[in-house]
Amino acid sequence: MTSPSLQRDAVYGLLGHRIRRAIVVTARAQDVPTPLSEMTSAVANAIAEQTQTATPDGPMRLSRLEVQLHHTHLPKLEMAGVLTYDADAQLVTEFDADELELLSQASDTLEAEFGGATAAE
């Protein structure tokens, strides 16, 4: 999976939603292939940590999150060349380490500047 380095606007667009930021945070700890259900649990836990909610299935139910990952967030990250998602098998089959690192650094910078809040949420 090779793609040109992400442009600044694309980075901001990808990090403009907390779910995609949570995917970036959790992706480096995931083995591939990663089933959608595992990715959903990891992302839910990351969001619960970020928002300090008691449980990952509180306000955002896991089934709803799984649908959002499958139909919106994983395909968007795939189009940007950050990962490869097999929608039919519901598996993330590859992560691009360089693109993940770029997004992770940008996410950390935005978090430090804005405290994690963005207008897109």
pTM: 0.84
Q: Which of 6, 7, 23 is nearest to 74 (CA)?
A: 23
* Non-local CB neighbours of 28 within 8 Å, separated by 6+ positions: 95, 97, 100, 104
Tally Cβ neighbours within 10 Å of residue 101. 12
Residue found by looking up tokens 């990250």 in the block: 77
Whether residue 14 is predicted with pLDDT greater than 80 in this model: the reply is yes
Q: Which of 3-7, 28-32, 45-49, 65-69 has the lowest mean pLDDT?
A: 3-7
Per-residue model confidence as pLDDT tens digits over 91-102: 999 999 999 999
What tokens were used for 61?
């139910």
Handedness of CA 102, 108, 114, 120 (dihedral sign): positive
Q: How confident is the model at residue 22 (pLDDT cuts 50, 70, 90)?
A: very high
3-state helix, strand, coil in the chain (%, to 5): 55, 10, 35
